[in-house]
Amino acid sequence: MSWTGPWVALALALAAAGCGADDGATPAARAPVSDLPPDRRDAEALGREVFELVDRAVDYRGSHRGRPAASLRQIGIDSLTPATARHLLSVDREPVVTVKYRKPEGREIMSCRGDSQILEEAALKGGRFTLMCATRSGAQRPILVGADR
């Protein structure tokens, strides 16, 4: 008889026991976007873009020996979408991404910006991170966005 047989059986039994366990670690259900206040709805939409662009800019820097991208075009991303205008700036080799609505009519939040710290914050807070956003009046304020509202 082989010694691996009992170990394989034990490993399979432990894996099967862990598959159905629910220790409350699942994130809370996301509120439908339509249920959010207008400012949060705008910030959530901009936040998804900011997060993706910062992530791609950090990946670019990592794969180019610490050299940051000079523009979104260098990363292979368009700066304009049908709804938004996007801008990348490097400050001390750290990417700072700003995304703003092209048609601000009816919006509470005009633009949001974030840097590489949002990636760490999202990892530590279950997908939530803070962006600095500009309101219709021009005031800047931090808004917490992300998966777990």
The answer as to whether 61 is a domain residue is yes
The answer as to whether 139 is a domain residue is yes
The answer as to whether 24 is a domain residue is no
The answer as to whether 7 is a domain residue is no
* Predicted TM-score (pTM) of this structure: 0.75
The answer as to whether 118 is a domain residue is yes
Burial of 6 by CB count in 10 Å (0-12 exposed, 13-18 middle, 19+ buried)? exposed
Give the residue among 134, 148, 118 at the shortest CA–CA distance from 39: 134
- 87 or 30: whose pLDDT is higher? 87
Residue 38: which pLDDT band, with cuts at 50, 70 and 90? confident
What percent of the chain is predicted at pLDDT more than 70? 75
The pLDDT of residue 71 is 94
Cα(115)–Cα(9) distance, integer angstroms: 47
Give the residue among 95, 94, 93 at the shortest CA–CA distance from 72: 95
The pLDDT of residue 56 is 96
Q: Which two tokens stand for residue 109?
A: 């939040």
CA distances from 67 to 2, 51, 87, 89, 107 (A): 54, 20, 18, 13, 36
Cα(87)–Cα(53) distance, integer angstroms: 9
| Domain count of the fold of the chain | 1
Q: Which domain holds residue 128?
A: 33-146
Is residue 23's pLDDT more than 70?
no
What DSSP letter does each residue of 8-36 carry, written as one string?
HHHHHHHHHHHHS---S-SPPPPPPGGGS
The answer as to whether 116 is a domain residue is yes
Q: What is the pLDDT of residues 125-142, one digit of tens each?
A: 999 999 999 999 999 999
The answer as to whether 18 is a domain residue is no
The answer as to whether 5 is a domain residue is no
Residue 36: which pLDDT band, with cuts at 50, 70 and 90? confident
